[in-house]
Chains A and B, each alone.
Chain A
């Protein structure tokens, strides 16, 4: 058996994608949101719920696989799995779907993320909000962070941004260009939460500070909503309604100085500015037989603007330390060399913990995006940082 026989390149496809409306108060259960997004993805593929025999979820989702199987009535369920932590999940969830299909454990896998992220549990206030008594222990290591007021991923990313500024001369204006770019894409997307609200550089620079040096538009939009996609084998995908979008390659990875937890422990790594996206980029491009020069459009996980900036470097679109000038150059805008986050992203469309990035990648590869990149044939989609991460390359079927 050769290496080629073992790999997953172009052997599975996304055949359906769905989402609910995004809002700050859905007034509905997280299970109802998951059900609606799943039904939309299944219908988009021209399939019936009964065709689904696999489900993969995010470890932070309050909807369990069997909860969703109950809602959809899936008696043929034969595979389920979960990935995480949190926003790093979507690429790992897709990797499990591909693994299940290629190993014969499932034929048609539903991958979803559902959250009342604004009206319900707000991740921006930290995972341990409301927990009484002594904090930490049991391998959580939160005793080194929460008692000091370091409770939220935004504060950790703010410290990385400050260090990036110190080390490389990155500026607030350069971060602002990422927020503005995502807002411009949202302004073209009637479904985005920021569809009708513009953002100029002056607006950005006069917006309130949340945690220095990050301002309100540097932060994603805590959102109520859900997204789902349906994955099947490339062979079966020819029978579905829409043009299949091939999964060219997926990769997950860690980094030297591995740390536990969700976000804050990244500060305890030997070099906190060295992120797992470097490892994942190398592995992903190798598996895809591609390089950054082959990517036509990218959906970068954007919990914060700084998160995008470091990934521009790590995925090879500019040199280490040059993420700021690259972001400000116009390269990431519509008509640039690497248009990014074409639905508006976490920052201006809605924060569905990285699943909306996959949905938008599918739309780009079908030519259906509200900010369609002409002739785009490949899309990079990344998932959350900074402890571990994952990414995938989607490709238009020939």
Chain B
């Protein structure tokens, strides 16, 4: 069994968040938005707190962003993630204030605000996970 096999995969069929993973399987990034007022609902949820609507849709956004922050982890915290590894937190170009995280091997050279682009990694069981790397 390789380290990658030990890595947990996301639940992809949750009624609130499943659309994100369905889009990822198509090689797209999508965020949940209110169909009536346009409010971005992130983390994804079915009810719009902006206008009270339950009508929402998954809106495809550009797979690009800027680096908000990152951390390089030097200790093993969970099997499947061998240190050193780096977690990045990326703010989407198409949706300011909406962020997603990604995983990078090792200790890459990074700086706040640098452009990042999404890739689509096929994980265990064929689950597609959006990841981020310097553009």
Contacts and interface: CB of A to CB of B under 8 A. Distances in A.
Interface of A: 124-126, 128-129, 131, 134-139, 141, 143-152, 155, 158-160, 162-163, 166, 208-214, 259-260, 264-265, 267-268, 270-272
Contacts of B75: 210-211
Contact of B43 (A124, A162, A268): A268
Nearest to A155: B71
B25 interface: no
B36 interface: no
B11 A148 contact: no
B77 A125 contact: yes
Interface of B: 7-14, 16-17, 21, 42-43, 68-75, 77-78, 80-81, 85, 87, 89, 97-103, 112, 123, 129, 131
Contact of B77 (A126, A131, A160, A264): A126
16 contacts: A126-B77, A135-B8, A136-B11, A136-B17, A144-B100, A147-B123, A148-B103, A149-B103, A159-B71, A162-B71, A211-B72, A213-B71, A267-B69, A267-B89, A267-B99, A272-B68
A137 B11 contact: yes
Given A147-B10, A267-B68, 14 more contacts: A125-B78, A131-B8, A135-B10, A137-B17, A139-B16, A146-B10, A149-B77, A149-B80, A149-B87, A149-B103, A151-B78, A159-B89, A211-B74, A272-B68
Nearest to B110: A162
Nearest to A124: B77
A152 B77 contact: yes
B78 A149 contact: yes
B58 to A, nearest CB: 15
Contacts of B74: 208-212
A326 B84 CA distance: 32
In the A-B complex, list the 9 residue pairs whose CB atoms are closest, starting with the nearest: A143-B10, A137-B11, A137-B14, A158-B71, A149-B81, A159-B69, A134-B11, A166-B112, A163-B69
Contacts of B69: 159-160, 162-163, 166, 267, 272
A321 B131 CA distance: 31
B11 A143 contact: yes
A260 B42 CA distance: 11
A166 B113 CA distance: 10
Contacts of B129: 147-148
Contacts of A147: 7-10, 123, 129
A387 to B, nearest CB: 12
B17 A159 contact: no
A150 to B, nearest CB: 5
A183 to B, nearest CB: 21
A163 B68 contact: yes
| Residue among B9, B75, B85 with max Cβ neighbours from chain A (10 Å) | B75
B42 A268 contact: yes
Given A166-B112, A268-B43, A141 B70 contact: no
